[in-house]
């Protein structure tokens, strides 16, 4: 297998020749000081799969991505990413961070953001080669961001910025795409577009997706596997295995009801006065004691 | 007036001033882009003020004030860099270090009791730059420019998109400290022209103005350097033919550029058809 992420041509054929899983957690525990984020996580995700990472706020979903990125070392257990221990700056990983929005006046165009995905980590001044500029252009076109690629990025809508972020993450031809709440603060139409963009990339290129989300519904059509993390506990498997009243009640250690309504999944909890906001039925209930 | 200028430019002090001004402007213009983008105005202020303490301290023990300034601001940069890595902490650390530094400065001035020198450091005295100072300025400028050249891309990445930069393997913390050190050198340079109190005119205004003119990073950098050059060289030339100090002209030209960009920027955007929202 070529180590050079640029010249590699991938797809289902290559994925079958490289049988190492996209990621393999083996009794992995992540802790910040005394606080255990999740413990003894064991899960293997083959290449080409779409993994949805679910759970309430603060349950360690982002930490899971940071572990894969080599930014958060495990307290115990092991983790392999594409057959190797996590490594900072792994060129095989594309990363779409939680959306923070760009400052209105930042002197940066979408095109520049995507270009940083190619050479931003390299020292020196540098100028993109012709071939690299073409790659930026085609990455922009792949996410249909061509029309606003030269506008100041701070003036674009959240959905447009998110497309540019995806182009930035994909321009390096990664094998693994990590997305942290890519749908947050987007309206329904954009949510669908962005999900299709990411799911479509996985399907067409055989790439693996890790998709952190607090709402499973937009990705129901794409997710091959889900992992639900809450209160240091976790459950992994197919959507229908994990998102059941039984599994969820076990995770929360409290009665939790999983309902399927008109093709959508609604998780309703009432444990220990943690309550549940009926107005936002897609939010996963907070575990008891989550705020302590 | 032109005659006067030609006559004045025959003097070596005027030539030194112009050369120093050009060096300082190039460094300041480039650094200014990142100061603005990284929200480091307060840090600039602190580096300059503790630099002031450094130079009064060095004068007191008979050493070069320029070297003292450089030492003071470098030391501050290292303090801020090691103690205030998180943005949340940074302002507080900057404030704490600056307050103490200025306190020392007060002590040094009192001991030395020559306020003229202090005023020169506070408001700039580029027309007193000697050949020796010029060589020192040139050396610092070269080091600063090479340093910025080497880290230009990762610094840009870490500035506009820190989270992805970190994930892509950019040593974000190291870059942050290195930039502070470069900033300290740039501050020590710029103080020669406009002085400690007016430092922001060269380290904030050009970058802030450039941001208003273009969204293209490379162009913004060129614009920032050009504005710093215009203000500095223009200020020195105007001061040579009048009796008003250089600092006044430099700050005024820079301010006029900023105002023009603020007022003209939206018009430029309309012409280019950039969406307002």
pLDDT tens-place string over residues A166-180: 999 999 999 999 999
Residue B224 lies in a domain: yes
A15-19, A23-27, A246-250: which has the minimum mean pLDDT?
Answer: A15-19
Instruction: Quote the CA–CA distance of A276 and A262 in Å, as a whole number.
Output: 20
**Averaged pLDDT score across all residues of chain B:** 89
**A2 pLDDT higher than 80:** no
Residue B154 lies in a domain: yes
Residues of A in contact with B149 (CB under 8 A): 124-125
Q: How far is CA B135 from the centre of its chain?
A: 18
- Same domain (yes/no): A86, A207: yes
pLDDT of residue A279: 37
Residue B209 lies in a domain: yes
- Same domain (yes/no): A286, A221: yes
Give the predicted TM-score (pTM) of the model.
0.88
Are residues B156 and A122, on separate chains, in Cβ contact within 8 Å?
A: no
Query: Helix (H, G, I), strand (E, B), or coil: what is residue A26?
Result: strand
Instruction: Quote the CA–CA distance of A103 and B39 in Å, as a whole number.
Output: 12
DSSP H helices in B85-171? 87-112, 115-123, 131-150, 152-160, 162-167
Q: What six digits make up the tokens of A236?
A: 């992994």
The structural domain count of chain B equals 1
Q: How far is B214 from chain A (nearest CA, A)?
A: 7
**A75 pLDDT higher than 70:** yes
Q: Which of B168, B215, B276 sits opposite A108 (nearest CB)?
A: B215
Cβ(A6)–Cβ(A53) below 8 Å: no
**B115 pLDDT higher than 80:** no
Residue A37 lies in a domain: yes
Sequence-ordered strand ranges (E) for A207-283: 208-212, 225-230, 233-237, 256-261, 264-269
At B59, the pLDDT band (50, 70, 90 cuts) reads confident
At B169, the pLDDT band (50, 70, 90 cuts) reads very high
Last residue within a domain, chosen from A126, A141, A173: A173
**To 5 degrees, how large is the angle CA B102–CA B104–CA B109?**
95
- Same domain (yes/no): A270, A145: no
Place of tokens 């091959």: A224
Those residues of chain A whose CB sits closer than 8 Å to some CB in chain B are: 69, 71, 88-90, 93, 95, 97-98, 100, 102, 105-109, 112-113, 116-117, 119-126, 148, 151-153, 155, 165, 168-169
- Same domain (yes/no): A270, A139: no
Across B51-58, average pLDDT: 92
Q: Which of B151, B165, B211 sits opposite A105 (nearest CB)?
A: B211
Residues B9-34: b if buried by 16+ CB within 10 A, e if exposed: eeeeebebbbebbbbbbbbbbbbbbb
Cβ(B58)–Cβ(B68) below 8 Å: yes
Residue A99 lies in a domain: no
Query: Helix (H, G, I), strand (E, B), or coil: what is residue A236?
Result: strand
pLDDT of residue B198: 86
Q: How far is CA B5 from the centre of its chain?
A: 27
Q: What is the pLDDT of residues A193-236, one digit of tens each?
A: 999 999 999 999 999 999 999 888 999 999 999 999 988 899 99
Q: What is the pLDDT of residues A78-92, one digit of tens each?
A: 999 999 999 999 999
pLDDT of residue B1: 74
Across B202-222, average pLDDT: 93
Q: What six digits make up the tokens of A30?
A: 């992540």
Place of tokens 């076109």: A141
Residues of B in contact with A69 (CB under 8 A): 167
Q: How far is A234 from chain B (nearest CA, A)?
A: 25
Q: What residue numbers bound the domain in which B260 lies?
A: 2-272
B214 CB near a chain A CB, below 8 Å? yes
pLDDT of residue B87: 64
Cβ(B73)–Cβ(B80) below 8 Å: no
* Strand pairing class (A233-237; A76-81): unpaired
Q: What is the pLDDT of residues A37-65, one digit of tens each?
A: 999 999 999 999 999 999 988 889 999 99
**B142 pLDDT higher than 90:** yes
The structural domain count of chain A equals 2
- Same domain (yes/no): A180, A161: no
**A8 pLDDT higher than 50:** no
Residues of A in contact with B173 (CB under 8 A): none
pLDDT of residue B109: 84
As to burial, measured by CB atoms within 10 angstroms (0-12 exposed, 13-18 middle, 19+ buried), residue B6 is exposed
Query: Helix (H, G, I), strand (E, B), or coil: what is residue A106?
Result: coil
- Same domain (yes/no): A159, A215: no
- Same domain (yes/no): A85, A164: no
pLDDT of residue A1: 39
Residues of B in contact with A116 (CB under 8 A): 153, 156-157, 160-161, 164-165
Looking up residue B256, the CATH number of its domain turns out to be 1.10.3470.10
Residues of A in contact with B168 (CB under 8 A): 89, 95, 117, 120-121
- Same domain (yes/no): A205, A271: yes
The CA distances from residue B139 to B68, B110, B142, B144, in Å, are 15, 32, 5, 9
Among A24, A34, A5, residue whose Cα is nearest residue A232: A34
Residue A2 lies in a domain: no
The CA distances from residue A175 to A71, A88, B57, in Å, are 18, 15, 58
- Same domain (yes/no): A223, A118: no
Residue B253 lies in a domain: yes
Pairs of CB atoms within 8 A across A/B: 97
Q: Helix, strand, coil shares of chain A as percentages rounded to 5?
A: 30, 25, 45
pLDDT of residue A9: 44
**B273 pLDDT higher than 70:** no
Residue B79 lies in a domain: yes
The CA distances from residue A54 to A176, A260, B57, in Å, are 18, 17, 59
Instruction: Quote the CA–CA distance of B58 and A265 in Å, as a whole number.
Output: 71
Residues 6+ apart with CB under 8 A from B35: B41, B43, B44, B183, B203, B204, B207
Looking up residue A56, the CATH number of its domain turns out to be 3.40.50.300
- Same domain (yes/no): A119, A83: no
**A3 pLDDT higher than 70:** no
Residue B98 lies in a domain: yes
Sequence-ordered strand ranges (E) for A4-91: 23-32, 35-45, 50-54, 76-81
Residues 6+ apart with CB under 8 A from A142: A167, A170
Instruction: Quote the CA–CA distance of B254 and B229 in Å, as a whole number.
Output: 10
Among B161, B265, B252, B171, residue whose Cα is nearest residue B213: B265
Residue A97 lies in a domain: no
At B197, the pLDDT band (50, 70, 90 cuts) reads confident
Cβ(B187)–Cβ(B239) below 8 Å: no
Last residue within a domain, chosen from A141, A156, A173: A173
At B274, the pLDDT band (50, 70, 90 cuts) reads low
Q: What six digits make up the tokens of A105?
A: 């006046």
The CA distances from residue B275 to A156, A161, B267, B272, in Å, are 8, 14, 12, 9
B14-18, B88-92, B266-270: which has the minimum mean pLDDT?
Answer: B266-270
pLDDT of residue A110: 95
Q: What residue numbers bound the domain in which A136 lies?
A: 105-173
ipTM over 0.90: no
- Same domain (yes/no): A137, A18: no
At A136, the pLDDT band (50, 70, 90 cuts) reads very high
Residue A5 lies in a domain: no
Residue B199 lies in a domain: yes
Phi then psi for residue A52, to 5 deg, are: -95, 130
Cα torsion through A242, A246, A250, A255, rounded to 10: 130
Helix (H) or strand (E) holding A200: helix A188-205
Last residue within a domain, chosen from A131, A153, A173: A173
Residue A100 lies in a domain: no
**B163 pLDDT higher than 80:** yes
- Same domain (yes/no): A58, A110: no
Residue B277 lies in a domain: no
């Amino acid at each position: 297998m070529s180590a050079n992420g640029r010249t590699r041509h991938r797809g289902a054929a290559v994925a079958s020749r490289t049988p190492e899983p996209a990621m393999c957690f083996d009794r992995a525990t992540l802790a910040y000081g005394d606080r255990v984020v999740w413990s003894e996580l064991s899960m293997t995700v083959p290449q080409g799969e779409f993994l949805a990472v679910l759970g309430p706020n603060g349950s360690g979903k982002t930490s899971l991505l940071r572990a894969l990125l080599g930014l958060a070392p495990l307290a115990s257990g092991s983790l392999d990413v594409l057959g190797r221990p996590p490594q900072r700056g792994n060129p095989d990983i594309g990363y779409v961070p939680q959306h923070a929005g760009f400052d209105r006046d930042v002197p940066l165009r979408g095109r520049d953001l995507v270009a940083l995905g190619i050479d931003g980590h390299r020292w020196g001044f540098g100028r993109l080669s012709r071939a690299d500029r073409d790659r930026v252009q085609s990455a922009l076109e792949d996410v249909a961001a061509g029309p606003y690629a030269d506008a100041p990025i701070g003036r674009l809508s959240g959905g447009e910025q998110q497309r540019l972020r995806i182009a930035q993450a994909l321009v390096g031809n990664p094998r693994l795409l990590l997305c942290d709440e890519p749908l947050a603060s987007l309206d329904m139409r954009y949510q669908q577009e962005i999900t299709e963009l990411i799911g479509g990339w996985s399907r067409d290129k055989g790439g693996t997706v890790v998709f952190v989300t607090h709402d499973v519904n937009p990705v129901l059509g794409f997710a091959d596997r889900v992992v639900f993390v809450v209160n240091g506990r976790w459950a992994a498997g197919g959507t229908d295995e994990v998102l059941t009243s039984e599994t969820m009640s076990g995770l929360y250690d409290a009665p939790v009801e999983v309902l399927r309504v008109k093709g959508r999944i609604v998780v309703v909890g009432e444990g220990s006065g943690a309550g549940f906001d009926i107005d936002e039925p897609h939010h996963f209930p907070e575990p008891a004691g989550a705020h302590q | 007036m032109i005659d006067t200028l030609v006559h004045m430019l025959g003097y070596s002090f005027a030539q030194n001033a112009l050369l120093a001004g050009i060096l300082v402007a190039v460094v300041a213009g480039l650094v200014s882009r990142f100061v603005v983008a990284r929200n480091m105005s307060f840090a600039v202020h602190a580096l300059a003020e503790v630099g002031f303490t450094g130079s009064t301290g060095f004068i007191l023990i008979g050493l070069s004030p320029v070297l003292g300034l450089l030492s003071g601001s470098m030391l501050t940069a290292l303090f801020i860099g090691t103690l205030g890595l998180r943005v949340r902490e940074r302002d507080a650390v900057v404030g704490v270090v600056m307050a103490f530094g200025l306190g020392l400065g007060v002590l040094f001035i009192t001991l030395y009791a020559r306020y003229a020198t202090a005023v020169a450091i506070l408001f700039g005295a580029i027309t007193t730059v000697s050949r020796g100072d010029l060589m020192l300025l040139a050396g610092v400028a070269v080091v600063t420019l090479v340093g910025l050249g080497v880290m230009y891309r990762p610094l840009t990445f870490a500035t506009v998109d820190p989270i992805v930069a970190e994930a892509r393997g950019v040593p974000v913390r190291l870059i942050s400290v290195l930039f502070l050190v470069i900033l300290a050198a740039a501050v020590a340079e710029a103080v020669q022209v406009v002085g400690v109190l007016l430092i922001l005119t060269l380290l904030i205004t050009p970058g802030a103005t450039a941001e208003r003119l273009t969204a293209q990073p490379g162009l913004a950098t060129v614009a920032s350097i050009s504005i710093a050059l215009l203000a500095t060289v223009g200020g020195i030339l105007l001061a040579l033919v009048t009796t008003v100090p250089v600092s006044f002209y430099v700050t005024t030209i820079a301010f006029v550029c900023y105002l023009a960009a603020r007022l003209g920027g939206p018009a430029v955007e309309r012409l280019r058809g950039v969406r307002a929202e």
